[in-house]
Amino acid sequence: MTASAPQPRVTLITRVNCHLCEVAKDTLARVAATAGVTWQEVDVDTDPGLLDEYSDLVPVILVDGKTHGYWRVDEDRLLRDLATPSPLTPPLRPDAP
């Protein structure tokens, strides 16, 4: 059995030709590298559910699947929140091999 790759902690919802999205990508790449977390980018226009919810708010930052912010990345706040363990990651068992 192969373990699946962990889900990225951060998702950046963007769209094509969005200047704020480009700025957010650069900022998020820097913050994620500092925090040692992975992130993914999703185009809001490719998902009807995301489009309904976030169309006017892009770029949108999700952390652990929850809205963290939109329009601009608050670097200090994001770094602080990423320092907290993800509630989606089970804790290591002391008896695990």
* 56 domain residue, yes or no: yes
What's the structural domain count of the chain?
A: 1
Structure token digits, residue 88: 């989606």
In a domain, 50, yes or no: yes
Domain for residue 2, yes or no? no
pTM of the model: 0.83
Ramachandran bin of 89, using left for φ above 0, alpha for ψ from -120 to 50, beta for the remaining angles: beta
Question: Which pair of structure tokens corresponds to residue 56?
Answer: 């006017």
For residue 4, what is the DSSP state?
A: P
The answer to the question of residue 85 being in a domain is no
Confidence of residue 87 (pLDDT cuts 50, 70, 90): confident
Is position 67 within any domain? yes
Q: Which domain holds residue 64?
A: 10-75
- Asked whether residue 58 is domain-assigned, the answer is yes
* Residue 19: inside a domain: yes
User: What's the pLDDT tens digit per position in 71-84?
Assistant: 999 999 999 999 98
